[in-house]
Amino acid sequence: MMKKYGMTLFAFLLIIVKSSFAQTYKISNETVLQYNKLINAAELLICDSLFSDALSIYETAFKLTNEPFAIDQYNAAMCALNTGDYNNVESLLVNVVRKGYDYKLLDNNKTVNLLDAKHHADLLRKLKHVSVEINYKLKDIYDSLLISDQYFRKDSLYWIKNRDTLCKTNYTNGKFLNTLIDMYGFPSEKTVGVSNNLLMALPWEIIVIHNHVNPSCNNRVDFSMVIWEALEQGLIRIPKAANYLEQSIGVNIFGTDLIGLVKAEYKSNDTCYYKCGFFNLPDKSIDRINSQRISIGLGTIVEARKKVLFNISNPDFIFSEREKFTYSYANLLDYNYFIDNLSEVR
C-alpha cells in the first residue's frame, strides 16, 4: 500500500490534462503482443473463477516464448492447483523458484494449504531442492547500485536534507545502469531473476524509478527507449513496462497511476472520515488510455480495476495491478474536494 499526503483537486486534474498522446505506442512484435493479450485474458478468467479455462489460455501463451514470466507461471500454477492438476503445479512452480521466488511464502497461500498433508509436503520438499538458475555475477553488479542509491535515503527527511545529492546520485547511477545494459544486455528475469515475492522492485528497477521526470532535478537518465526495446523483445512484463515508460516519459499514457483503488481519509481529534473508490476520469481520457493500453496488450481500465478488486480479496494469486493508494488530508475541505472525484466501489 502506498500513502500520499495532501493531493489537491488541482494536482489530480493536472495529471489528466498533462497526458499526451502525440505518440502512439504499439508493439510491432506480434508474438509479444499476442502473449500480453493472452495473459490479460487468463487473468480475467481467474477473476471469474474459471480456472480451467484460464489454465488453457496460459498454456497457449507459454508456447509463444521460451521464457514465460514468473508471475504468469505462478498464477498458472494456482489455476492448476484449483483444478487438481498437481503435476502441472509442481513443474510450473519449479520454474518460478529457479528465477528466485521464495517457495516458503507458499505457506501463506490458502490454496496451497488446502492440499492434503502428503501433497503439501511433497511439493515443498521438491521446491526446497530447486536451485536458482540466474547469472549471480551479473546480478551482483546490478544490485551494487542500490548501495549508493540508499545511502542518503536513510533519514526520514532525506529528500528535504539531501535533495541536490540525491539528484546527482540518481543521475550517476542511471548512467552506470545504462552502461551495464549496453555491456551485458537488459536485466531480464532469465539473467538476474525476480524478487523473492515476485512483486518487490529489484535494485535495477529502483534506479529506473528514481530517474523519473522530476522538476527538482536538472539531470536524469531517460530509460524510455531501453524499456520500450525490452518490451518489444519480451524481456519485461507488460504492466511493469507501462509503469516505467510513464515515469521515464513523464506523462500519463497507460493510466498506471489512475487505475488503482484509492482510499481518502481525514482524521481529527474526534472524527474520522474515509472513502474508497477509483478515480473518475473524463470519457475522452478513458478512450485514449484504453486505446493505448490495448495497443500493447494490456486490458482496459475497467478490466484492470476488476483485477485490482479481485486480488484484494484473493491474495493467493499475484497480479501486478493491485496497488492501493491512501491519501491523507489535514482539513475536511480538501478531503471533500478529493472524494468528489472518486467513484463508489461496487
Residue 1 pLDDT exceeds 80: no
Residue 210 lies in a domain: yes
C-alpha cell at 232: 518489444
Higher pLDDT: 68 or 160? It is 68
* 219-254 pLDDT, tens digit each: 999 999 999 999 999 999 999 999 999 999 988 899
* 244-300 pLDDT, tens digit each: 999 999 888 999 888 888 888 998 878 888 888 998 988 898 999 999 999 999 999
Residue 108 lies in a domain: yes
299 in the same domain as 209: no
SS3 (DSSP) at 24? coil
Residue 9 lies in a domain: yes
Residue 15 lies in a domain: yes
Residue 6: pLDDT band (50, 70, 90) is: very low
Q: Given this model, what pLDDT does residue 191 score?
A: 96
39 in the same domain as 121: yes
Strands 324-329 and 2-5: parallel
Q: Of 249, 281, 312, which residue sits at a domain end?
A: 249
Residue 77 lies in a domain: yes
226 in the same domain as 202: yes
Residue 75 maps to which CATH number?
1.25.40.10
Residue 254 lies in a domain: no
How many other CB atoms are found less than 10 A from the CB of residue 71? 23
286 in the same domain as 201: no
Residue 114: pLDDT band (50, 70, 90) is: confident
| Average pLDDT, integer, range 12-22 | 42
Number of structural domains, the chain? 3
224 in the same domain as 168: yes
User: What are 275's strand-pairing partners?
Assistant: 264
C-alpha cell at 183: 555491456
C-alpha cell at 325: 493508494
CA atoms of 2 and 257, how far apart (whole Å): 11
Residue 236 lies in a domain: yes
Q: Given this model, what pLDDT does residue 346 score?
A: 62
Residue 327 pLDDT exceeds 90: no
Q: Which of 230, 153, 238, 240 is nearest to 195 (CA)?
A: 240
H helices of the chain, where? 9-18, 30-47, 51-62, 70-82, 86-98, 117-128, 136-143, 145-151, 158-161, 163-184, 189-192, 203-210, 224-232, 238-249, 283-295, 301-313, 332-339
Residue 42: pLDDT band (50, 70, 90) is: very high
Residue type, 279: F
How many other CB atoms are found less than 10 A from the CB of residue 296? 22
Q: Which domain holds residue 57?
A: 27-98+100-133
341 in the same domain as 286: yes
Residue 23 pLDDT exceeds 80: no
* 305-319 pLDDT, tens digit each: 999 999 888 999 998
Higher pLDDT: 158 or 58? It is 58
177 in the same domain as 117: no
Q: Which percentage of the chain shows pLDDT scores above 90?
A: 62
74 in the same domain as 155: no
Q: Which of 203, 282, 214, 202 is nearest to 247 (CA)?
A: 214
